[in-house]
Amino acid sequence: MQIRSVSLLCALALAGCAGAPAPIGGSPEIHVVNADALPPPTRGDIATANVPYLVGPFDKLTIDVFGIKELSMLKVQTDASGRISFPLIGQVDAAGRTPAEIAAAIATRLKTQYVRDPQVTVNLEETVSQLITVSGQVTEPGTYPVVGRMTLMRAVAIAKGTTEFAKMNDVVVFRTVGARQMVALYNLGAIQRGAYVDPQVYANDVVIVGESEARRIFKDVLQSAPLLTAPLIAYLNHN
């Protein structure tokens, strides 16, 4: 990703930044303005148009085997591991599969022992597995479902917390807002001390803890004001 320019927004105005935005760190392309958090994504940002939906934990599905009354329009829910239990064939791994792939897996197992030519349809009934990615210096990096309201601290906790020598002051969150990419720099230690509110995170956010190349985006601001007590928010303009 080639970054052409960065417009920074600071949650609490830095010394000397009150009023009109002013250049920071000698770069005319970096300006600090007032803002207290990344704005939430729009529905269009969260929706993954043209991307196949992958079933995850606690999703609800409707499964129909055409012509078999006992297996008609069954409503099932994946468990915490993303598995479902289906009559005759038992457990089926659904996590990370599209509904069509799950249908094919069920049909294959039914055909092996019970039904000559099963016609299986799987539809997504309800989803609670909108996903967030947590990586970097956390114990278990990965992709996790966003269930209900989730904050940055909770997202890190779901990834089993930070590693022993994680850089708590170097937590970067990427988000798309109105089809425009944004990035924020947070300090987990400051949040724990109550310096500012634990920010909410959303589906499709990417959280990177420590050792982040993205931190270089904020280099000029951090050199000019190394004792920031508020998050930094940036718009990324790139080709």
Rounded Cα distance between 237 and 27, Å, is 15
- Residue 40 is given by DSSP the state P
Report the predicted TM-score, pTM, of the whole model to 2 decimal places: 0.55
Residue pair 94/79 in contact by the 8 Å Cβ criterion: no
Residue pair 234/39 in contact by the 8 Å Cβ criterion: no
Rounded Cα distance between 169 and 36, Å, is 17
Q: What is the pLDDT of residue 112?
A: 85
pLDDT in tens, 112-151: 878 889 999 999 887 766 788 999 999 999 888 776 688 9
Alpha carbon 121 to chain centroid, angstroms: 29
Tokens of 112: 């092996």
- Residue 149 is given by DSSP the state S
Rounded Cα distance between 237 and 18, Å, is 25
Residue pair 73/62 in contact by the 8 Å Cβ criterion: yes
Which CATH code is given to the segment(s) 3-46+130-238? 3.10.560.10
* CB neighbourhood size of 49 (10 A): 5
Rounded Cα distance between 159 and 137, Å, is 10
Handedness of CA 132, 237, 24, 35 (dihedral sign): negative
Q: What is the pLDDT of residue 223?
A: 63
Residue pair 211/136 in contact by the 8 Å Cβ criterion: yes
60-126 has the same fold as 3-46+130-238: no
Partner residues linked to 99 by β-bridges? none
Residues whose CB is less than 8 angstroms from the CB of residue 73 and which lie 6 or more positions away in sequence, other chains included: 62, 63, 64
Nearest CA to 39 out of 180, 228, 230 is that of: 180
φ/ψ (deg, to 5) at 155: -60, -40
Q: What is the pLDDT of residue 8?
A: 39
Residue pair 138/161 in contact by the 8 Å Cβ criterion: yes
Question: What does the pLDDT profile of the chain (239 residues) look like in tens digits?
Answer: 433 334 433 333 333 333 333 333 333 333 333 456 667 777 666 654 455 677 888 889 999 999 899 999 999 999 988 899 999 999 999 988 889 999 999 999 999 878 889 999 999 887 766 788 999 999 999 888 776 688 999 999 999 999 988 888 889 899 988 878 888 888 898 888 888 889 999 888 999 998 666 567 676 666 655 555 677 777 776 54
Question: What are the boundaries of each domain within the chain?
Answer: 3-46+130-238, 60-126
Rounded Cα distance between 166 and 173, Å, is 16
Which CATH code is given to the segment(s) 60-126? 3.30.1950.10
